[in-house]
Amino acid sequence: MDKTPTLTDIERGDESCILRFSDGKSFRVEYLAIRICCQCAKCKPRQENEQRIIEFHEEVSRLVMEKPMIEPVGHYGITMIWPSGCSSGIHSFSHLRSIAEDSGIII
């Protein structure tokens, strides 16, 4: 059984969002951090080795970071629909929590 807290709320800002989890912890996370960690079939292979990671980060960093639309995916994740770039990734709650703990700011 997965013990990862579920995502209970997302407050979208212009360049970052606040992710609130069922254990009461909240994190401010930059959209760039979420986009760089996309696990979709197009993005994940581009994160296989150091050179590809560097190229992928540079490409994503050049994109305009606009507030995405968000759609739930079952009871385990969300999809972020970006005005530019990839919108096919499913971000599970455990994946978002990992990003938040690694790159976010606890608030």
How much of the chain, in percent, has pLDDT values that exceed 70? 98
CATH 3.30.2020.30 fits 7-106, yes or no: yes
**Domain ranges within the chain, ordered by starting residue:** 7-106
Name which residue leads in pLDDT, 61 or 94: 94
Residues near 17 by beta carbon (within 8 Å), at least 6 away in sequence: 10, 11, 28, 29, 31, 34
Among positive and negative, which fits the CA dihedral 34, 90, 76, 68?
positive
pLDDT tens per residue across span 7-45: 999 999 999 999 999 999 999 999 989 988 888 888 888
CB 80 within 8 A of CB 70: yes
Is pLDDT of 6 > 50?
A: yes
Instruction: Supply the Cα-derived Rg of the chain in whole angstroms.
Output: 13
One-character DSSP codes across 45-56: GGGSSHHHHHHH
Is 60 exceeded by the pLDDT of residue 1?
A: no
